Structure 1
Amino acid sequence: MGMQDTLHALADSTRREILNLLKQSRLSAGEICNHFSISGAAISRHLSILKDADLVRDEREGKYIYYELNATVLEEIFLWISELKGEKDHDQTS
């Protein structure tokens, strides 16, 4: 289910924009909300989907939860796409 969850999460433009924001730095849910004209509940749902797909990590600090990008899953997707395209990974030594 992992790859399916990831692709589902990436299919939504709002979630892709959240990931773009998080590539700059980690942000609280409130800071993420400030970039959108949708409700906090909608942003919370998008963040939940991104977390379920393991595209973001969260960490509680006091009364805030901060979100950051988990690039590892994206790297796995890029590798899979490269393999589909028939590209060889020149960095592998084994």
Structure 2
Amino acid sequence: MGFQQSFKALSDPVRREILSLLRRGPMAAGDIAAHFEVSGATISHHLSVLRDAGLVLDDKQGKYIYYELNMSVVDEILEWISALKGDVRNEKNQ
């Protein structure tokens, strides 16, 4: 899972909204879908893209699948962005 796959997943506004929902904690796929006016299959596709990019983790419990943010990948992306921002600032000071 590289940054390219993560940033591609983040490029879609529905997927970004799903990540915002998951900030509150794990949610079942059906509960996520209830927040959108698209089909369950569409939400399932978005969740698959987010999972494949490593941005969410899934946990099957009985007949439900719960999704949660994968904070280690989120932290890795944020660290890279912070380092990039820091490098730009250091270059300006030189």
The residue correspondences of 1:1-94 to structure 2 (distance < 5 A) are 2-86=2-86
| Deviation for aligned residue 1:74 | 1.1
TM-score, structure 2 as length reference: 0.88
Mapped to 1, the partners of 2:79 and 2:39 lie a distance apart of 35
What's the secondary structure of 1:85's corresponding residue?
Answer: helix
Partner deviation per Cα, 1:3-39 (whole Å, 9 max, x = no partner)? 1000001111100100010110111110000000000
Matching residue's letter, 1:45 = H
Under a length normalisation based on structure 1, what TM-score does the superposition of the two structures give?
A: 0.88
Q: Which runs of 5 or more structure 1 residues have no equivalent in the other structure? A: 88-94
Where does structure 2 lack aligned partners over 5 or more consecutive residues?
Answer: 88-94
Count of residue pairs the alignment pairs up: 87
More helix by share: 2
2:23 alignment partner, SS class = helix
